[in-house]
Structure 1
Amino acid sequence: MSAQEDMDDVGEFAALLRALKERTDRSYGSLARRLAMNTSTLHRYCAGEAVPVDFAPVERFAALCGATPEERLELHRRWLLALAARRRPRTASVPEDEPDTAADPPPLPRRPWYRRRRVAVGLAAACALLATLGSLSALPDGRRPAADRARTAGPAASGTTEAMAPDRSGTSPTPSDSPTTRQPSASATPKKKPSPAPSSDRTTAPPHGGRKPSVPLTWSVNSQVWKLGCGHDYVVAKPPRQVPPPPAPQDAGVWAATQGAVHGGETLVELSVQGRTDTAVVLNALRVRVVGRTAPAPGNAYAMDQGCGGAVTPRSFDVNLDKDRPIAHAVAGSDTGVPIPAVRMPYRVSAEDPEVLLVTARTVTCDCRWYLELDWSSQGREGTVRVDDAGRPFRTSGIKGLPRYTYDTLARQWAPYS
């Protein structure tokens, strides 16, 4: 079989992978994490630069992209042909009607475009470094030019709340009786480490502008998420006749605030994390801090629905607040019917590859106040951001033993939950 036919077999296999990938709205990085493989490896498979030696990752990829049984069968056939093509020895024969040119040195293979670009970027960076060193040596006092100092302080001067926010890790949170809706991050400061000399502190040493380096990620949080978009309980210290009907999910924050409602039994926190640039930021750990436990809040439990079904959201974490030391456990989920295994930390995010984490915190025995801590690292720096409810801890109260009501849409009133 000719080399051209081998290339065609590999190309057809890669083309089918790309076609399946285009059905989704996910990036290569997002798909690779769900397949537990490296992003560059998946990209090489889809570009025809490599063929997996085992069909298992290909089958998981097809399932994640929603391939039909017929498409999976065709994908398996093309994988077999591509694998056989890659395993065949590549020997070139000289036609009899052409002169033998074996004595001449063969032409050097052309570098792929991305390798040529990498070399060019490396040379450009080296030239820029030499130019910078030359300009520094020309200064009599050894200081950098003003323009250089301005570039150094660039990220911290961007006006974002995370870069200039104070560190609240040492302050005690203020309890709140009313949960709020989605809020931007406001406490993302790098954590300090003891060091023998200020010059060895990689995370907190300020640049020449006197400002701390900005945190390389941003986040937002929504504490008014309902289970599967329709199921949730609130504890309200009012009789049923004084409580308005359940709101639409998007109005839950306003409804809860006006009623002084507390999350009943569980709180779902949706955390969206994204890098500031294309540079990857590693999310190393997600921890839970309980800052207060009292007896469950008095009142009645009001259910926002009469039950609903569906699949578990992927990237989910489960927290038992009744434990002395609660831990955020990764749990399995599904995505449009496709099982998603529980994937532990670390995760990677960037500006083009965000991540959404769903934390479900439950309690039976207490009125708990708590918040999250997210550890990150990037390019030799590391730190911790505090994830809370606009500066206040999240609040979850048990509903065991409380009267529970559901809304009767026909009678337009709250009725005892049956």
Structure 2
Amino acid sequence: MRRPRSGPGLRWKLTAAIAVVSALVALAMAVVVRNAARVDMMNNSRNLQDDRVQVASRNYESTHRLVFGARINDPRLPGGLRQAAERGQRATDIEYLSGEPIVWASIPMADNKILSISSRFVEPDAILDNLDGVLVVDCAAVVLAGSALSVLVGGSLSRRLRKAAVAARQVAEGAPDVRVRDAVGRRVRDETDELARAVDAMADALQDRLEAERRVTADIAHELRTPVTGLVAAAGLLPPGRPSELVQDRAQALRTLVEDLLEVSRLDSAAERADLQEIPLPDFVRRRVRGLAPDATLTVLREAWVHTDPRRLERVLGNLLSNAERHGRAPVEVELDGPLLRVRDHGPGYPRALLREGPSRFRTGSSDRSGQGHGLGLTIAAGQARVLGASLSFRNDDGAVAELLLPEAPGPDNGTA
């Protein structure tokens, strides 16, 4: 099963999202705090201006002298303050002239006079600069804290999802005892746990169906084995002749099909175990190719010793050679490159369904490669390769190419793998 290319993980996506949101929130809060501080400074300036106008009014009433730059009936007095004085109220206001804030304070006096004081609002730059520095540090701290928290939370979630993906991939590859919920852990009850339970339920249902199919296949093959064996024996007693040869050939083909079905059912049960040995691969393949496909050519690019079961390896090699000769075109080439065994023919190539999904019983692909056979040869080869711990892959390259990568063993000459 080909693993798709992965992009940035969930942890980093979540971290980036939380970092961006934290930065935006911190920036918004910084703007709000700075504006609130400026408004508070302006209110303090208005209160100071109100205190000054009261002191100036008392001083004018006692000495008839104006202090703090106070004026009587100033024509520039804003209309709101003039109306408040007419109602006998003391008031303050901020007027913007050319974008510059002017702080006003007024108080009504005797004889319909209005005493007022105005001054330009000067922002305390040092205080605002210090405030800006504090806000920058706070924003950075918020972003870092949010990112660290998201790394922890996202890392935990990402690890659980990756464990779930690994377990699901093992289930897809045929591991019967693997359960996704056990892989991700049962202590945390969240969406990951729900996903794991759903995948496990699906895996159990599929495994039950596959087991039922395997049992049906095995039962049918066992029931047919005895009568087919009798049929082959009876066909051998027929008098010589072309009809007898045809009956014997078909009876033998039926017997081979039954034996293949039994082998497939045993491989599907995952109960097969390999009798592993260390063997020199070139010598082994050379002898088998000479007996199984005398017309095939053998090329050894690099010699190697492998850790394998000779009987099962011979079965895989025989099925690959038989498939190449039956469905492909000559010449059939066998190539050894260390522990890699490659079988190539020059026919139409494997069907796309096989390349996409792998071998499947009773599916022979396109009509170009389905003149004979039941799709069991490559299925058995793939099953035996799994038992050997080898990797069997298929591709098309000016014909059909099957590659079997075997576990390499240290050679007796150099002691290296």
Shorter-chain TM range is: under 0.3
Q: TM-score, normalised by structure 2?
A: 0.20
Greater Rg by CA: 2
Higher relative contact order (CA 8 A, sep 6+): 1
Higher helix proportion, which one? Answer: 2
Higher strand proportion, which one? Answer: 1
Q: TM-score, normalised by structure 1?
A: 0.20
